[in-house]
Each structure stands twice: as structure tokens, then as C-alpha cells.
Amino acid sequence: MPFGNYWQREEVMPLNQLEELQLKRLRWVVRHAYDNVPFYRRRMRELGVHPDDIRRREDIARLPFTTKEDLRANYPFGLMAVDRSELVRIHMSSGTSGKPKVVAYTERDLENWINMVARCLYMVGVRRGDVFQNMVSYTLFTGGLGFHYAGERIGAMVVPSGTGNTEKQLQYMLDFGTTVIHATPSYALRIKEVAEERGIDPKSLPLRIGCFGAEPWSDNTRKRLEDAFDIKAFDSYGLSEMNGPGVAFECEEQNGLHIWHDHYFVEVVDPETGEPLAEGERGELVLTPLTKEAMPLIRYRTGDVTYIMDYEKCSCGRTHPKIHRILGRVDDMIVVRGINVYPSQIEHVLMNIPEVGDHFQVLITRNGSLDEITVRVEMRDEIFTGELEDFRRIQGKVSKALQTELNIRVNVELVEKGTLERFEGKAKRVIDLREEL
């Protein structure tokens, strides 16, 4: 339960005590996985490592990685460490190919998860009396129920609106007096668009807090959201394999995401070699959940790119270290003419140019032996005059800004507002046509 400005006392535990707790829980989860999951017992024996060998925090590097392919290969219950009778819920991630990744929960797993998400919501100012509209899927996706129960635990009134039907979403916000929303940032921009089409000023809504995640987004998009709705917009990070949302969250500083070290052991590794990287070095985030009973995962490679930020005591008072907001995904990185490009870099540039709208698309094609990037971006109606000279000026401005950021020439195609597809969940920004040629 909350005390002072915090949801739980663990949020302000001194760092040395947090690290002692991490080691204690790390040793427990390694033993739990070894004793109860044949997959991990076999993997550890292959590497010549035993749970008794984990004596220091640094010894985690001796343990095997777990990948999303391992989860799919053991579908549905091959990685469970408890009897099926102890499972009280399952979720699945949305896989684009092959079998989905199944995750399962005991009662205690659910209790820990709800409390972690409640920590996050309380940290950004959600309180009893707030009206919390949850605009994400309520099916097997973890975002819906994860935030739903956390909002209720704090005492907010939860509106389980789910995804889709933007007109109704907006009507609920007006009718119920919604003060907090949870959505993807791209869908929040769609709500802004529909409100304006209906002649409603988004600033007139009673909103004060927006929680956004499930896709990488930039500080420039944050500014657009905050300016549009007159709110504070906070970044949320989680993934189904780690329970769901609630792994890390921004506090009111909005400078990095506190990642809950009493529940997760955090590493950043080189995506190619798997070697650990130092604080401040960008790489792939690797997480070991420390309190999961049903499905312990050892050194799970998330595929998300970030870095551990320099440790400084946060002005919010919380002692849990921070990761930088997610920069992209290892498998979303586009390699064009030897240059590594993340869609989040393109978004960061576009959202800083006032003449362009909130929606864009990236096309990757091959012209002979050369790869080409074409960025299609919508114009803002109130900016574009229809004059060819204005069109060329804005096109040149966008092209130059992208080239400066990416160090590669980019084709820019300006299109009318409403041309590009809108998304209710995660936005699909990149279309790679090279394999089709």
C-alpha cells in the first residue's frame, strides 16, 4: 500500500541493499529453474555451470541466454517450473510468424505483477478518484489486464475501453471525465486527429496524464502529445515474457525509466557477440526476472535496444537505476548501404518539423544494387498552401533534416492528411520491399 509519495517501501531501498536482494533472488531463481525446468538443467550442464556457482552478481554472465525461439520451441508449457494445477492465468504475445510465446502465472506472480504496474501508475501521479481509460487490447495481450488491475488497486475508476472505435473512445472521455489514458503513442495521435475533426479541442478534455508504450517513440512525439492534450506524457516499458507492462516506467522527471531492480536483473549486451556492455553503452537489453514462479527465464534477450543510464539519485527519491527509453529493436534495425537506421530516429526528426503531420511510413526498396529509403509523411492542412514552391521548400527541409540525422540520403514523399493507414495498436511504420524483388 502507498506511504508518503511511494507505493511500496522497496522503491526507496538503498542501492546496496537492492543489489544484495537481487543476488539473493537471482540465486533462488537459478536454482528454481535448474531443479524444475529440464530445458535449463540441460543448458546449464552443457555450459558446465551449476546453481551453486552463482555467488556474486557478476556470475550471471556464466549462465545461458534465453531467446524468443526457445519459448516458441517449448510451446506451450515446456518452460513451466510448477505443476499445471498452480497456474491461474496465461497470456500470449503477438507473434508475426511461427508459434506464439506463451507466458503463465501463479497467484503470487499475478500479485507481484499488479503491484509493479501499480508502482508505475502511482509514480506518475495516478490516484484514487482518477478516471483511467485503458485503450489497449483485453485479449491475450498483457497490456489490457496488466494496467486494469493496477489502476483498480490504486483506487482509480477504470474504463476498460480496449482498442478500436475511436469515435466511441472520444465520447467515453467526454462522458466519463477521463483523467488518465493508456494507449500506444500513435493511437493517441489518432484520437487527437478525430477530436479535431469533430471540432473538439483536445486541450478541453479533462486529461492530465498519458501513459504510452508498446512501440518506440521520441521526445519530439512526447512534445506533440503534451501540447495537443495539455498533459504529461510518460513512457512505459514491458514485455509479455517479463509478466507484461510494469518492467520500467518514467517518473515525473521524464528522464529515463526506473527499472524495478527488486524484480529484474538488468544487463545490456552486444547484440552480435552477447558480451556484456558497460554502463552508458548502447546494446540489447537482457532481463532475468527474479520473482517469477510459473515461468522463470534466465538472461532473456529482449531484442530491445537501450543503455543503462549513469546512476544518480533521482529527484523523485526512488533509488532504482534507469534505462534510457527504448531506441528501437535489434530486428527492426534497417541496414541501408552499410548504415544502421532505426525507425525511431526517423520519427524523432519528423516530429520536430512543424510543417508535417503525425503519421509517416518508411519504404525500403532496391534500385539495382543500391538500397533506397523513401519516407512518406503527411502534411498538416493548415501549413500547406498548395503552392509548388512551398511544397518543394518543405520537402527539402525534411530531406535535409533526415540526411543530417541518418548520414544517408533519403527520398521524401509528402502526401495529403489521411493518406496513410492508422493503427489502433502498434504502428507498422516500415515496409521492406527488398525481399519481394
Q: What is the CATH number of the domain that holds 394?
A: 3.30.300.30
How many of the other CB atoms lie within 10 Å of CB of 353? 17
Give the domain-ending residue among 305, 330, 355. Answer: 330
Q: Are residues 265 and 411 in the same domain?
A: no
pLDDT of 437: 44
pLDDT tens for each residue of the chain, 437 residues long: 687 789 999 999 999 999 999 999 999 999 999 999 999 999 999 999 999 999 999 999 999 999 999 999 999 999 999 999 999 999 998 654 568 899 999 999 999 999 999 999 999 999 999 999 999 999 899 999 999 999 999 999 999 999 989 999 999 999 999 999 999 999 999 999 999 999 999 999 999 999 999 888 889 999 999 999 999 999 999 999 999 999 999 999 999 999 999 999 999 999 999 999 999 999 999 999 999 999 999 999 999 999 999 888 899 999 999 999 998 888 877 777 777 788 888 998 999 999 999 999 999 888 776 788 999 999 888 776 667 888 899 999 999 999 998 888 899 999 988 899 988 777 888 888 876 54
pLDDT of 427: 82
Map residue 19 onto helix, strand or coil. Answer: helix
pLDDT of 433: 84
Is the Cβ–Cβ distance between 276 and 63 less than 8 Å?
no
Q: Are residues 377 and 287 in the same domain?
A: no
List Cβ neighbours of 65 (8 Å cut-off, separation of 6 or more).
274, 286, 298, 299, 300, 301
Per-residue DSSP letters for 173-216?
Answer: HHHHT--EEEE-HHHHHHHHHHHHHTT--GGGS---EEEE-SS-
Closest CA to 357 of 230, 228, 231, 229: 228
Give the domain-ending residue among 266, 296, 330. Answer: 330
Which DSSP category does 436 fall into?
G
Is the Cβ–Cβ distance between 194 and 174 less than 8 Å?
no
Is the Cβ–Cβ distance between 166 and 205 less than 8 Å?
no
Give the domain-ending residue among 282, 302, 330. Answer: 330
Domain that holds residue 173: 1-330
Q: Are residues 249 and 393 in the same domain?
A: no
Looking at the 3D structure of the chain, how many domains does it have?
2
Q: Are residues 34 and 145 in the same domain?
A: yes
Please state the pTM of the whole predicted model: 0.87
Domain CATH number, residue 247 = 3.40.50.12780
Phi-psi label, residue 337: left if phi above 0, alpha if psi -120 to 50, beta otherwise? left
Which DSSP category does 137 fall into?
-
Reading the block at residue 98, the C-alpha cell is 511461427
pLDDT of 307: 97
